[in-house]
Protein backbone atom coordinates (compact mmCIF):
# COMPACT_ATOMS: atom_id res chain seq x y z
CA UNK A 1 0.00 0.00 0.00
CA UNK A 2 1.31 3.45 -0.93
CA UNK A 3 2.03 5.84 1.93
CA UNK A 4 -0.38 8.72 2.51
CA UNK A 5 0.62 12.35 1.98
CA UNK A 6 0.80 12.88 5.74
CA UNK A 7 3.14 9.89 6.16
CA UNK A 8 5.38 11.24 3.40
CA UNK A 9 5.50 14.69 5.03
CA UNK A 10 6.41 13.16 8.39
CA UNK A 11 9.30 11.34 6.68
CA UNK A 12 10.70 14.65 5.40
CA UNK A 13 9.13 14.81 1.95
CA UNK A 14 7.93 18.13 0.55
CA UNK A 15 5.98 19.15 -2.52
CA UNK A 16 8.19 19.67 -5.58
CA UNK A 17 6.78 21.52 -8.58
CA UNK A 18 8.71 21.54 -11.85
CA UNK A 19 8.09 23.38 -15.10
CA UNK A 20 9.55 21.63 -18.15
CA UNK A 21 10.13 23.65 -21.32
CA UNK A 22 10.58 21.34 -24.28
CA UNK A 23 10.77 21.53 -28.05
CA UNK A 24 7.86 20.19 -30.06
CA UNK A 25 9.03 17.10 -32.03
CA UNK A 26 7.54 18.26 -35.37
CA UNK A 27 8.29 21.97 -34.86
CA UNK A 28 11.66 22.28 -33.13
CA UNK A 29 11.49 26.09 -33.09
CA UNK A 30 8.36 25.98 -30.85
CA UNK A 31 8.69 25.62 -27.08
CA UNK A 32 5.92 24.09 -25.01
CA UNK A 33 5.57 23.71 -21.23
CA UNK A 34 4.59 20.87 -18.94
CA UNK A 35 4.06 21.18 -15.16
CA UNK A 36 4.87 18.22 -12.89
CA UNK A 37 4.25 17.84 -9.12
CA UNK A 38 5.19 15.10 -6.68
CA UNK A 39 6.36 14.66 -3.11
CA UNK A 40 10.16 14.52 -3.04
CA UNK A 41 13.09 14.88 -0.67
CA UNK A 42 15.35 17.94 -0.92
CA UNK A 43 18.17 18.54 -1.76
CA UNK A 44 18.69 15.34 -3.79
CA UNK A 45 15.22 15.23 -5.46
CA UNK A 46 15.38 11.55 -6.52
CA UNK A 47 11.82 11.47 -7.93
CA UNK A 48 12.36 14.61 -10.02
CA UNK A 49 15.62 13.32 -11.50
CA UNK A 50 14.03 9.90 -12.15
CA UNK A 51 11.24 11.68 -14.08
CA UNK A 52 13.79 13.71 -16.07
CA UNK A 53 15.62 10.48 -16.99
CA UNK A 54 12.28 8.95 -18.03
CA UNK A 55 11.50 12.02 -20.17
CA UNK A 56 14.86 11.87 -21.94
CA UNK A 57 14.49 8.12 -22.65
CA UNK A 58 10.81 7.86 -23.57
CA UNK A 59 9.43 11.24 -24.75
CA UNK A 60 10.29 12.68 -28.16
CA UNK A 61 10.25 16.36 -27.15
CA UNK A 62 13.81 17.46 -26.38
CA UNK A 63 14.10 19.28 -23.06
CA UNK A 64 15.07 22.94 -23.28
CA UNK A 65 15.01 23.77 -19.56
CA UNK A 66 13.62 22.68 -16.19
CA UNK A 67 12.71 25.06 -13.36
CA UNK A 68 11.58 23.72 -10.03
CA UNK A 69 10.59 24.80 -6.54
CA UNK A 70 10.38 22.75 -3.37
CA UNK A 71 8.28 23.44 -0.29
CA UNK A 72 8.56 21.34 2.84
CA UNK A 73 5.01 21.25 4.08
CA UNK A 74 5.60 19.97 7.59
CA UNK A 75 8.58 19.69 9.87
CA UNK A 76 8.99 17.34 12.79
CA UNK A 77 8.65 20.20 15.29
CA UNK A 78 5.25 21.20 13.90
CA UNK A 79 3.57 17.82 14.43
CA UNK A 80 2.41 16.76 17.86
CA UNK A 81 -0.04 14.27 19.26
CA UNK A 82 -3.18 15.73 20.81
CA UNK A 83 -4.91 13.71 23.50
CA UNK A 84 -8.05 15.79 23.99
CA UNK A 85 -10.16 18.37 22.24
CA UNK A 86 -11.77 21.50 23.66
CA UNK A 87 -14.75 23.03 21.88
CA UNK A 88 -15.91 26.57 22.40
CA UNK A 89 -19.56 27.22 21.48
Question: What is the residue-wise DSSP string for the chain?
Answer: -PPPHHHHHHTT-EEEEEEEEEE-SS-TT-EEEEEEEEEE-TTT-HHHHHHHHHHHHH-SSPEEEEEEEEE----GGG-----------
The pLDDT score that the predictor gives to residue 19 is 94
Question: Is 82 inside any structural domain?
Answer: no
Question: Is 89 inside any structural domain?
Answer: no
What is the rounded CA–CA span in Å between residue 5 and residue 59? 28
The pLDDT score that the predictor gives to residue 65 is 92
Domain count, the chain: 1
The pLDDT score that the predictor gives to residue 42 is 87
Question: Is 21 inside any structural domain?
Answer: yes
pTM above 0.85, yes or no: no
User: Could you read off the pLDDT of 36-87 as tens digits, one per residue?
Assistant: 999 999 889 999 999 999 999 999 999 999 999 998 766 555 555 666 655 5
Q: Which domain holds residue 70?
A: 5-77
Among residues 79, 61, 70, which one has the least CA distance to residue 41? 70
Question: Is 38 inside any structural domain?
Answer: yes
The pLDDT score that the predictor gives to residue 60 is 92
User: Could you read off the pLDDT of 2-50 as tens digits, one per residue?
Assistant: 888 888 888 888 889 999 999 999 998 999 999 999 999 988 999 999 9
Question: Is 88 inside any structural domain?
Answer: no
Amino acid sequence: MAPTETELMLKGYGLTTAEFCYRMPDHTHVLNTFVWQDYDIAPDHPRLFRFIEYWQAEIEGALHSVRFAHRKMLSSGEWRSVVGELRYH
